[in-house]
Amino acid sequence: MMPDLFLEERRHIILSPGAILLGGFALNDAEKLLVQIDHLATFSPFRHMITPGGKIMSVAMLSSGTLGWVSDQKGYHYTHTDPKTGKSWPPLPPEFLALAQNAARSAGYHDFKPDSCLVNRYVPGARLTLHQDKDERDQTAPIVSVSLGLAAYFLWGGLQRHEHIKRHKLFHGDVVVWGGHSRLAFHGIAPLEEEIHPLTGSIRYNLTFRKSG
């Protein structure tokens, strides 16, 4: 019999240097995470932000934590208050924080202290074009991402936009810890396919935990 330890390890895959896939890491927590997302949305509703170029994003977003990521005509930045409500972003739910810290620890980051969780909501056709995450003050901290609901193709390249793009399908419950060399890689999400997930219907959610301030 194969010891469980090895079954666990087989799900830890290095996608690229510094990027560790923890396959199914959030599966047991998924339903309570989805309840928390609905709860957060009653405080800070999902909205389609405007890119600095004036386009409406196809992905709807909200934030929680002391800082929230915002895009508007002025650019990308982090704010303490939700521009839509004028109030603080809702605090990070303890379940969110525990999951993010456990995932980071499994990937070797023992003192990950995220202050922000961006929740992205995709419907079929929604996508995220190639970009880098470089609005965070401390870029040595990893980013932890959690995929829920419909699966999507994650696309990523190198440190320059023109580099070869690889793709990997991210499924419900998958967690990826992006640190080291992968932290500033170009990445995006291909247009979501038309499918139905038993827990979320035609929706994909992605949580990204960051140390932003």
- Binding interface with Fe ion (CB under 5 A): 133
Check binding of 182 to ligand MD3 (CB under 6 A): yes
Q: Which C-beta is closer to ligand MD3: that of 7 or that of 61?
A: 61
Residue 145 touches which of Fe ion, ligand MD3, none (Cβ within 5-8 Å per kind): ligand MD3
Pick from 100, 95, 79: nearest CA to 212: 79
Q: Round to whole Å and give the CA distance between 70 and 83.
A: 8
Q: With binding defined as CB under 6 A, does residue 183 bind ligand MD3?
A: yes
Q: How many CB atoms lie within 10 A of CB 199?
A: 13
Bridge partner residues of 154 (DSSP):
168, 189
CB 186 within 8 A of CB 130: yes
Environment class of residue 165 by beta-carbon count within 10 Å: exposed (0-12), middle (13-18) or buried (19+)?
middle
Query: Rounded to an integer, what is the distance from CA 126 to the centroid of its chain?
Result: 15
Q: Rule CB under 6 A: is residue 120 a binding residue for ligand MD3?
A: yes
- C-beta closer to ligand MD3: residue 86 or 180: 180
Subset of residues 125 to 164 that bind ligand MD3, contact rule: CB under 6 A:
128, 133, 143, 145, 154, 156
- The answer to whether the CB of 57 falls within 8 A of the CB of 71 is yes
Among 99, 189, 192, 203, binds ligand MD3 (CB under 6 A): 189
Does residue number 178 form part of the binding site for ligand MD3 (CB under 6 A)? yes
Q: Which does 183 bind (CB under 5 to 8 A by kind): Fe ion, ligand MD3, none?
A: ligand MD3
Binding site for ligand MD3 (CB under 6 A): 118, 120, 128, 133, 143, 145, 154, 156, 176, 178, 182-183, 185, 187, 189, 206, 208
